[in-house]
Amino acid sequence: MTDFLHDLNEVQRNAVSATEGPVMVLAGAGSGKTRVITYRIAYLISNEGVSPNNILALTFTNKAAGEMRHRVDTLLHAGSSSGLWIGTFHSIFARLLRTYIHLIGYDRNFSIFDSDDSKSLIRQAMTELNISQDSVPVNTIQSLISRAKNGFILPAEFHRNAGDYNQQKAAQVYELYTRKLKENNALDFDDLLIKPIELFNEHPEVLEELQDAFRYIMIDEYQDTNKAQYLVAKMLGARHRNIFVVGDDAQSIYSWRGADISNILNFQDDYHDALTFKLVENYRSTGNILKAANSIISRNQRQIKKELISHRSEGDPLTLLEAYNERNEAEKVGDHIRSMRMKQGYEFRSFAVFYRTNAQSRVLEDVMRQSRIPYRIFGSVSFYKRREIKDAVAYLRFILNERDSESLLRIINFPPRKIGDVSIGKLKDFAEREGVSLYEAIRKAEEGGFQARLVTALTSFSTVIESLKEIAENGTVYNVLSELFTLTSIPLLLQAENTPESLARHENLQELLSMARDFSDHNPDAGSLGDFLENISLASDYEETQDSDNYVSLMTVHAAKGLEFPVVFVTGLEERLFPLHGQEPEELEEERRLFYVAVTRAQEKIFLSWAQSRYHYGQPQHCLKSVFISEIDSSIVQTEGGVFLSDRPLRDAPVSTAPSFSRGYPQKQTAPVATQSSSFDKPKASRSGLRSGISVHHAVFGPGTVLDVQGTGAKQKVRISFRSAGEKTLMVQYANLKIQ
């Protein structure tokens, strides 16, 4: 027997020693949740005499599982974790299925299909069902099926409840895709979660056997579990009821990938005799940081009440940075990093800069490079190295230099034009025979004896290129890129996919458009396409880490969960950016939890920043300060000038609009930006018949209400709030809207 408990505080000790019956540990940020789980495993083995084979510990990442096993071995002795069932939900369930899956009609040597394998099989199903990928993107189908499986919604139920067009088509594919997986003796990643439920329902004797084996079940990050994970855990723990869950409802930020916060909120409804322990002693952050976090999360209605307590000093107040645009915001961040390094001796690695969307990294990266501040993008890649950005830039390079065959080969199927490798090989042969460039061969495709379908696709491509070249001769970089997006409909295609990944790619392309507009506005005489591409090339070749581990970390707030830094900047605190969503109370509460996660990553100092204006879809837009800023106790937030918000007049002074100057290039004054509410003052009518307030229907997004109409003619855009797809901005000529 070993005395493990002396290393723990009182609440941790009580949680570890409560070994019988259901237990929930609400582990606030920085309160030592991993320590509680690992000490409990060690305590069960060493002090309670429980065999490692009778302990099941479920996590979400291999890294967390490895860390848990290592800590148990450290507490006991090397090899003590042998026999323990520690792993991710997917790995543990795959291991179980290898033993029992033959009982539900699969061979034990089943294959596990990755995302690409799954997508290929979905394409086959769509082809057999005559569902065109032009009408519903395969990524959309894959995403809808995955979400259904994570919610343990099987094909029949999904089909019954299918609402919009996408869901109806996905329901057809889901049923056939399920059959095809079984024909291939294969499971996709989501099947690893739902097949155990099918197994247990059809073979209760297997469930009884596993219930007897797993006398003690522990689940990490319980707030991130989906319905399928919840059901399997509940079934396995039903006999002995020794289920021990650790999590924090205040850090539930993954509903978009199926996590269900109600699993943790309703734990005591599932287990009326459950013991609940609240770990609120935070060992990470100063008192003011925790005071801010507590005031933020207290606004949420759906939560289990708790307040974090700091073991550290009160610390510095939070600092609010108020900028006149996004570049000025990034420059302020860079200035404070340099100042704190010089005056307080911080290393670059002490700093982290958070943002709500990946697209926001572009301006921050630009300023970091110009300021010679080493940085690394955490959990993603640098803006200019993202696939969709490289694709769009390849168009611009090719427009400038039609002999650039590498760029040509990159863009010829972006967006998809069904020009395969065989066709490209024939084109190359034709170009070689004729002694011309590959692009010239494309322009002369009618003379090459190619199939009519290929000639049509190549002619369409060359028409786009020639149109863009013509615009590039007299127009701005913004004109070229804007027309590229219009002619190819690339942003609309990404919107239509309506998956988290495609929408992030869409935002990145819109940020590139904003960059082009910014460049064009501030370089009216010398801003050539070549200059623009040169800037991008220099940025792309920047060695981010400079062979050093001393760099500033840039990341989305989602990527920051589980990390901590001495100094944190939370940028872009503006309405419709952070919070990004908020039409529904549940959405706003999750955005608030995300802000809570951002604030609680900081150990010593936190900066909050917002910009009065920001480019959005290539247009400067007036911004409103995020409601989240006003939810923090104003007595602990000060301006850069040292004035506490509690001492400022009720009506804040406007952010300085002093000289529009940027380190990147001199700026010219642009026309005043309209206020955010101006577009709603009067309904706009147009020749298309669209105006704010009317109801419309879109083939992909379904029914919606027009919020705003912008521009005229071929470039007219309409902003619509769709019932199921949220807010979208579409080009009218391509949207094919039906007025209701």
In whole angstroms, what is the distance from residue 553 CA to residue 374 CA? 9
233, two tokens: 């855990």
Q: Which of 601, 605, 625, 728 is catalytic?
A: 601
Burial of residue 50 (CB within 10 Å: 0-12, 13-18, 19+) is middle
552-556 and 375-377 as β-strands: parallel, antiparallel, unpaired? parallel
The catalytic residue among 34, 268, 276, 619 is 34
Nearest to 231 by CA among 206, 197, 274: 197
Cα Rg of the chain, angstroms: 28
Active site residue 221: yes
> For residue 470, what are its two tokens?
């013509």
Residues in contact with 258: Cβ distance below 8 Å, sequence separation at least 6, in sequence order: 146, 147, 150, 151, 226, 227
- Is 543 buried (19+), middle (13-18) or exposed (0-12) by CB count in 10 A? exposed
Cβ–Cβ < 8 Å for 19, 48 = yes
CA 193 – CA 293 distance, rounded (Å): 34
Is 19 flagged in the annotation as binding?
no
Rounded-to-integer distance, Cα 29 and Cα 248, Å: 8
201: amino acid identity, one letter = N
Element (H, E) at 569: strand 565-570
CA–CA gap between residue 698 and residue 703 (Å, rounded) = 6
Choice among 229, 251, 286, 638 that is catalytic: 251
433 given a catalytic annotation:
no
CA 250 to centroid of chain Cα atoms: 18
Is residue 30 a known part of a binding site? yes
Of 221, 224, 402, 604, catalytic: 221
In the 8-state DSSP scheme, what is residue 574?
Answer: B
Whether residue 29 is annotated as binding a ligand: the answer is yes
Question: What are the structure tokens assigned to 697, written together?
Answer: 């229907």
Other C-beta atoms closer than 10 Å to the C-beta of 312 total 16
- Cα separation, 228 vs 150, in Å, equals 6
CA distance 461 to 251: 48
Bridge partners for 622 per DSSP: 613
Q: Is 668 annotated as a binding residue?
A: no
Q: Among the options 164, 220, 260, 483, which is catalytic?
A: 220
**Residues near 456 by beta carbon (within 8 Å), at least 6 away in sequence:** none
- Catalytic site residue from 12, 13, 33, 195: 33
Q: How far is residue 453's CA from residue 348's CA, in Å, rounded to a whole number?
A: 56
Active site residue 34: yes
Question: Was 572 annotated as part of a binding site?
Answer: no
> Residues, the chain, total?
740
Place of tokens 């623009």: 532
32 is in an annotated binding site: yes
DSSP state, residue 674? P
Element (H, E) at 179: helix 165-183
The H-assigned helical ranges of 203-307 are 204-213, 227-236, 262-265, 267-270, 287-297
Please spell the DSSP secondary structure of 12-33, one letter per residue.
HHHHHH--SS-EEEEE-TTS-H
Q: Name the residue among 740, 721, 729 with its Cα closest to residue 584.
A: 721
Distance CA 184, CA 180 (A): 6
Nearest C-alpha neighbor of 496 from the set 255, 189, 137: 137
Of 621, 631, 603, 731, residue with least CA distance to 678: 621
Bond prior to 415 in cis (omega within 30° of 0): yes
- Tokens representing 535 are 């800037």
33 is catalytic: yes
Task: Give, for 418, the enclosing helix (H) or strand (E).
Answer: none
14 class by beta-carbon count within 10 Å (0-12 exposed, 13-18 middle, 19+ buried): middle
Q: Catalytic amino acids?
A: 33-34, 220-221, 251, 601
Annotated binding site: 27-34
Annotated binding site for ATP: 27-34
